[in-house]
Each structure stands twice: as C-alpha cells, then as structure tokens.
Amino acid sequence: MANTVLMKKGESLKDEKRIGILYRNILMVEKMEATVTHILPQCKTQGFTHKGKEIKFMVKGELEYHVGDDMFILEEGDMLFHHSDDKHWASNKGTGEAIFITVSTPGTFTLFEEKKK
C-alpha cells in the first residue's frame, strides 16, 4: 500500500448513484476511507448503522444531518464527528446541491455492495 495518495478533483475510485445522491469513494486504505457525497435539493440519504466512527466536513450548501435522535444543521465549513453505530442520514432541504466529505474508520463503502445482494 502506498504511503501517499493523491486524488485529483473529479477523480474517484468508484461512484455509487442513488436518486438525487452521488457517493464518490476517493480513498480506501487499511482502516480508513473517504467519500464525497453530493445530494440534490429535496433529497435524502437512507439511514445507516455500522461499526466505526465518522467525521463529516461540509464543503458546499446546507444539510440536516441526523444521528440517532439528534438533528444538526451543517453549513459550509462545519465538521461533525459521530459514532457510526447510531443510525445516521442526511437530508438536503435547501434549493442548491449539498456536498460533504466523510472520513470513516473502518471503511464503509462496501455497505453499498452488501445492499445490492
């Protein structure tokens, strides 16, 4: 495994599309993963629970981000940390695209593969 990884703007290892949602996996190493998520206005992600921890960095727009019974308003430049075993999902109630980066440990992008089976 390389000690340094550069992913240029617009590149990804794998894309996963849902209605109104684009997940772009940009890093997958031993025990860590990074994904850029694009959510169109009035769309929301499905709820997830899995082992691990996550950090969210808001890049663009505004989201309602739910973790368990808590709801947070995330705006450009905000960061949110949470344990992944609490059900979590994002909802874009705005009029523009929302983009955030998730860094998780361990990696969770394989959850999409498991859902397809």
CATH number at residue 45: 2.60.120.10
Predicted TM-score (pTM) of this structure: 0.85
Examine residue 5 and state whether it is found in any structural domain, yes or no: no
Beta strands in the chain (DSSP E): 14-18, 21-29, 32-39, 43-44, 53-60, 62-67, 70-75, 79-83, 88-92, 98-105
Domain assignment of residue 24, given as a range: 14-82+93-100
Examine residue 109 and state whether it is found in any structural domain, yes or no: no
Examine residue 37 and state whether it is found in any structural domain, yes or no: yes
How many domains does the structure of the chain reveal? 1
Does the pLDDT at position 49 exceed 60?
yes
Which stretch of 31-40, 45-54, 55-64, 107-116 has the lowest confidence by average pLDDT?
A: 107-116
Examine residue 23 and state whether it is found in any structural domain, yes or no: yes
For residues 78-105, average pLDDT: 95
Examine residue 56 and state whether it is found in any structural domain, yes or no: yes
Examine residue 67 and state whether it is found in any structural domain, yes or no: yes
Does the pLDDT at position 4 exceed 60?
yes
